[in-house]
Amino acid sequence: MAVLVSGGAGFIGSHTCVELLNAGEDIVVFDNFYNSNPKALDGIRKITGKDFKFYEADMLEMAEVDKIFSENDIEQVIHFAGYKCVPESVKHPLKYYSNNLRGTFNILETMKKYGVTKFVFSSSATVYGYPEKVPVYEDFPLSAINPYGSTKLIIENLCREMYAANPQWTFILLRYFNPVGAHKSGLIGEDPNGIPNNLMPLVLDKAMGKRDILQITGADYPTPDGTCIRDYIHVVDLAKGHVAAVKKARELENGCPAYNLGTGHGYSVKEILDTFQRVNNIDLGYTIGPRRPGDAAACYSDPTLAEKELGWKAELGIEDMCRDAWHFVQVRNSENNG
Ligand code: UD1
């Protein structure tokens, strides 16, 4: 019996594959490399010393999804595949709804066809919209503030409604805060295609000399140093959260719980940039720019439910996140040049 990982070559997917293999799980992986790199698959194999079945497949192609289920004994699914760029989703809502929703429908329908009823979903703290207070708890009101967030919320709602209608299903909704960092080997990490828009990939590009400007987008927020506060979580900790969720899905006969996967600590943009500079001995030469539209001043989790029910807790700190992220891009750069 295998765990099927959709989007397993991506940033969070590849780290999760490593932790699943390290935990002795059998995995089957698929990805269409839309925003990922086949090198991640070699990285997973090198780190773990284990092999697994991989399909280059698109979740929009029902026949491709069906083939994976027909050729393997799938026990449960972790669903990462999806578009995730917020500004792009604002420009192209139909593209986001079409891909993220239709792909998920195809996977769920195929699961139904093959009698697979355990589904771990890669959700996001974006489903809290602009939280009224922090820390954020799982029972806070949910809302979508952009098309990307809408697709996450619609899929969460679908899971809740499917569970209400068919209580033989088990859904686990994992709400990620801000995943950063990389595996300490430097063999896998965040490797987005195109121009990044999240903080850490922008920092890495600036540190590599690939971009001229790095700006803090707003230093006049009502926070201690004026810059926004987020709950950055090391991707290896996040990946371990998925191993805990897979075990939980196995234990639960049915259900649809949601868990915050964060550290519970908020760090400001300035603290992140200064930590990056200090641990990597790099001067980023950042400046202060105007606010980015749509940013909340502070967003961080209360992760105690995940600790209580999944037995999972983040262990790595922002120094590890900054060091490991930088190590990965250096390894990738030397491979590309070597
Ligand atoms: C963003 C998305 C969120 C998504 C998450 C995925 C938005 C509004 N939100 O979260 O829906 O789930 O990514 O990882 O896009 N910053 C700078 N300078 C920059 C870029 C960012 O100072 O050039 C600041 C931002 O103001 C923010 C922090 O860095 O305070 C983190 O930004 P980012 O990495 O984009 O994450 P979020 O906005 O928290």
Summarize pLDDT for 61-119 with one digit per residue, the tens.
999 999 999 999 999 999 999 999 999 999 999 999 999 999 999 999 999 999 999 99
| Residue 192 confidence (pLDDT) | 83
Ligand 1 pocket residue status of 124, Cβ below 6 Å: yes
Q: Return the SS3 of 97.
A: helix
Question: Partners of 79 in the beta sheet?
Answer: 6, 121
**pTM, two decimal places:** 0.98
CA–CA separation, 56 and 35 (whole Å):
13
Token pair of 213 as six digits: 């400007």
| Residue 193 confidence (pLDDT) | 82
Query: How would you list the strands of the sheet with 74-79, edge to edge?
Result: 53-56, 27-31, 2-6, 74-79, 118-124, 170-176, 258-261
Q: Select which of 83, 128, 148, 300 is catalytic.
A: 148
| Residue 1 confidence (pLDDT) | 95
Q: For atom 22 of ligand 1, which residue has the closest CA?
A: 216
* Mean per-residue pLDDT, 223-238: 98
What residues contact residue 137 under an 8 Å CB cut-off, 6+ apart?
A: 260, 302, 305
Q: Is residue 284, in this structure, part of any structural domain at all? A: no
Ligand 1 pocket residue status of 217, Cβ below 6 Å: yes
Tell me how far the alpha carbon of residue 162 lies from the centroid of ligand 1, in angstroms.
31
Tell me, what CATH number does 257's domain have?
3.40.50.720
Q: Is residue 146, in this structure, part of any structural domain at all? A: yes
Q: List the single range of 188-192, 199-203, 243-247 with lowest mean pLDDT.
A: 188-192
CA atoms within 13 A on the CB side of 242: 32
Tell me how far the alpha carbon of residue 199 lies from the centroid of ligand 1, in angstroms.
6
Q: Is residue 13, in this structure, part of any structural domain at all? A: yes
Cα 192 off chain centre by: 13
Question: Partners of 176 in the beta sheet?
Answer: 124, 261
Tell how strand 229-230 and strand 267-268 pair up.
Answer: antiparallel
Tell me how far the alpha carbon of residue 129 lies from the centroid of ligand 1, in angstroms.
13
Check whether 13 has a pLDDT greater than 90. yes
148 a catalytic residue: yes
Burial of 48 (0-12, 13-18, 19+ CB in 10 A): middle
Q: Is residue 70, in this structure, part of any structural domain at all? A: yes
Ligand 1 pocket residue status of 216, Cβ below 6 Å: yes
Q: For atom 4 of ligand 1, which residue has the closest CA?
A: 126
Number of domains in the chain: 1
Q: Is residue 336, in this structure, part of any structural domain at all? A: no
| Residue 191 confidence (pLDDT) | 85
Q: Is residue 292, in this structure, part of any structural domain at all? A: no
pLDDT tens digits along 261-315: 999 999 999 999 999 999 999 999 999 999 999 999 999 999 999 999 999 999 9
Q: Is residue 82, in this structure, part of any structural domain at all? A: yes
Cβ pair 312, 240 in contact under 8 A: yes
CA 323 vs CA 31, 155, 204, 279: distances in Å: 28, 34, 11, 6
Q: Is residue 170, in this structure, part of any structural domain at all? A: yes
Ligand 1 pocket residue status of 230, Cβ below 6 Å: yes
Ligand 1: which of 177, 227, 230, 291 to mutate, judged by most atoms within 8 Å of the beta carbon?
230
What is the domain extent for residue 133?
2-183+231-262+304-315
pLDDT class of 195 with cuts at 50, 70, 90 = confident
Check whether 338 has a pLDDT greater than 80. no
